[in-house]
Structure 1
Amino acid sequence: MTGFYHETAFYDSDDDFLTIAVPFVEGGLRAGQPTLIACAEKNTTLLREALADDSAVTYLPGADQYARPADAIASYRDIFGGLAKDGATQIRTVGDVPHPGFGVPWDWWGRYENAVNQAYAEFPLWGLCPNDTRITPAEVLADVARTHEYVATTAGDHLPNPGFGTGLPLSVPVPDVLEQGTPLVVLVDPTPAAVREAVSASIRGTRLSEDDAHDAVYAASEIVTNGLSHGVAPVRFRLWADDSRVVVAVTDQGPGPADPMAGLMPTTATRSAGLGLWILHRTCDYVSMGRDEDGFTVRVSVGGSGHT
């Protein structure tokens, strides 16, 4: 197998999960293929208990590996590149990609599942992304069907997915809960300097850490710059905040980037809006990008915990 074989599976019981995942892992181990598991704690425990000998398996803590999509891509590319350089002709992974069933916003993980079809294409990789239908929302399952070229079954089949590539773009991002209130700042076609000043003034009385405050100012400046440079006027900037978290949203009337990798991988070797978008994907707690009836919106959240 060459290139990226991106596969999903749907299960509704722990036994079905093991029926799909255990033969996949054991097949890799028998063939001497590097095999990585980056699952949530429950599934990691199930696999550890079910595998007769997992000493050759590399376990990656799921919460760390899937902290942010851009970080996950960078980390995996380093791992896969190192294994390929060392002579691996086939690599296997099992991963629980985060979604609201795990208490995590889905938008940027949906974009991740789409983008990795390009991001990992150069590696001899077989990636299995199982989905527990007991906890996975319907809109996530629909996006999963659009972004995985193959489907594994409990019968041991690995089949082409007829839903792959259909219905893109993915589901529309959900506004942050803070957006239910009146924004503290509204600016139309502002300069990046005016945005930096407005954000700094608005978050001065919050409990954001110094790093979070810096990230909020940087993110706001970058997405306004991106909207002014690549979007269609008017460009509207809004900010909401409570005592520990800030949300900024920038909306323009353009279609948004056509590249599914936008923000998830660096697009240039020099500092630009493209690189800036990637940096905020690696520093902010949540980033969403999508188009609805109001236009194309980039939304970022910094600080606190819950985002939507």
Structure 2
Amino acid sequence: MTDFHHPALLYCRDAEYVAGVTAFVRSAVNDDNPVLIAVPGANLDLLRAALTDLGDRVDFADMAVAGRNPGRILPSVLLRFAAEHPGRRVSIVGEPIWRDRTPMEYPACAVHEALINAAFAGRDAAILCPYDVGQLDPSVIADAWSTHPTMIEDGALRDSHRYADPVATAAALNRPIPPPPAEAESLVYEKTVAAVRCFVRRHAAAHLPEDRAEELVLAASEVAANTVEHTSGRGRVTVWTEPGLIACHFEDSGHLTDPLAGRVAPADIRHRGYGLVLTNELCDLVRIHSSPSGTTVRLHKLR
């Protein structure tokens, strides 16, 4: 019988962090489970130093790189690791939220934490998510009680009194995306994505290296293709720069009803749904907010 566990570890000091995570890891290794630790840089160094005796029995990934875009964590980190070990229980430490996450990034992180429960339902896995209560805003910790069925607080495991249906929780945490700057340049498109490619390429080429510019063009093309294929109206794309990044903002009349769209890869890249997975791979942030009145998508590419 499969058994999925998704606790949050609340910690406030390095020693508490290392003790809680290494206890989880050593227990998993003793049970002969494949283990992945995906946490941001400085914490990764702490855990590597504390687990040197385990050698290659633990895989490590820098979440600040692999999970820079929160929408990439489920398909490219967590589910990929599980797929690499078919028929075995996997144990993962995933820390997607840290102090330097921006207000634009945070809702995507919170939605990710909620949707882990839907994506891993019925799977034989354990995913431990550490939260630094000394560095994170209290509202972030409050959200963790909503997105995790169990919590580890002061060394004790307890049920979360706020945990509820993960899809409903994800929808509640997915805040509307702010509108683009009034002075930003926009393009209205319909029936074809060729004009979108040219428009985004013109802006991206002025601010990004050629390879990264073309990645943004491809991601924008995938988003625009969804408008053309799945809506009867027109779409609008707006492009502008902010300190350190270039942003593409899409609006159309469609309604995206699958909460896991872009976060669970289809079995074959030719299948419908791969475009948003690819978009998550190509961008440093993807925010999607959809309702019956329309869909907004925000893409960020760091400069």
Matched-pair contact (CA < 8 Å) for 1:203–1:213? yes
- What are the ranges of 5 or more consecutive residues in structure 2 without an aligned counterpart? none
The answer to whether 1:83 aligns with 2:85 is: yes
Name 1:262's counterpart in structure 2. 261
Structure 1 residue aligned with 2:92: 93
Work out the CA distance in 1 between the residues paired with 2:5 and 2:25.
15
* Distance of aligned partners of 1:59 and 1:235 in 2 relative to their CA distance in 1, 3 Å threshold: same
Q: 1:283 to 1:70 in 2, by over 3 A?
A: same
Counterpart of 1:81, as a letter, is A
Partner of 1:215: 215
SS in 1 for 2:219: helix
Kindly tell me: are residues 268 and 78 of structure 1, through their superposed partners in 2, closer, same or farther at Cα, counting changes over 3 Å? closer
Q: Does structure 1 conserve the Cα–Cα contact (< 8 Å) formed by 2:285 and 2:300?
A: yes
TM-score scaled to structure 2, two decimals? 0.80
2:163 is aligned with 1:163: yes
- My pick for the range that moved more, 130-139 or 285-294, is 285-294
Q: What's the CA shift for 1:298?
A: 0.4
Q: Distance in 2 between matches of 1:296 and 1:167?
A: 19
Which 10-residue stretch deviates more, 181-190 or 120-129? 181-190
Give CA deviations for 1:214-264 in whole Å, capped at 9, x if unaligned: 22322223222223433574533222247985321111344x322221112
Tell me the SS of whatever aligns to 2:280.
helix
- Residues of 1 paired with 2:302 and 2:155: CA distance? 45
Q: Which amino acid counterpart does residue 79 of structure 2 have in structure 1?
A: R
Give the direction of change, closer, same or farther, for the CA distance of 1:247–1:64 in structure 2 (3 Å limit).
Answer: closer
Letter in 2 for 1:183: A
Matches within 5 A, 1:1-308: 2-48=2-48, 50=50, 53-55=53-55, 57-62=57-62, 63-68=64-69, 69-70=71-72, 73-85=75-87, 88=88, 90-99=89-98, 101-103=99-101, 105-121=105-121, 123-165=123-165, 167-169=169-171, 170-172=173-175, 175=178, 179-180=180-181, 182-187=183-188, 189=190, 191-204=192-205, 206-231=206-231, 233=233, 235-241=235-241, 245-254=245-254, 256-267=255-266, 269=268, 271=270, 274-291=273-290, 295-304=294-303
Deviation (angstroms), 1:118: 3.4
In the TM superposition, residue 58 of structure 1 has moved relative to its aligned partner by: 0.9
Say if 2:256 and 2:295, in contact at 8 Å, map to a contact too.
no
- C-alpha separation in 1, matches of 2:268 and 2:48: 41
- Partner letter of residue 252 of structure 2? D
Deviation at 1:184, TM superposition (A): 1.9
AA of the residue aligned to 2:93: V
Letter in 2 for 1:155: G
TM-score (norm 1): 0.79
Q: Give the share of equivalent positions with the same residue, in percent.
A: 25
1:223, 1:277 within 8 Å by CA — same for their partners in 2? Answer: yes
- SS of corresponding position for 1:215: helix
Question: Structure 1 regions of 5+ residues with no counterpart?
Answer: none
Counterpart secondary structure, 1:20: helix
Distance in 2 between residues matched to 1:245 and 1:52, nearest whole Å: 37
| Amino acid aligned to 2:274 | L
Inter-partner Cα distance in structure 1 for 2:80 and 2:243: 38
Shift of 1:61: 2.6
* AA in 2 matched with 1:261: L
Q: Which amino acid aligns with 1:91?
A: V
User: In the superposition, relative to structure 1, how do residues 57 and 41 fare at CA in structure 2: closer, same or farther (>3 Å)?
Assistant: farther
**AA partner of residue 131 (structure 2):** N
Q: Does structure 1 conserve the Cα–Cα contact (< 8 Å) formed by 2:177 and 2:289?
A: no
Distance 1:243 1:42 in 2: 24
Tell me, yes or no, if the aligned pair for 2:187 and 2:196 is still in contact at 8 Å.
no
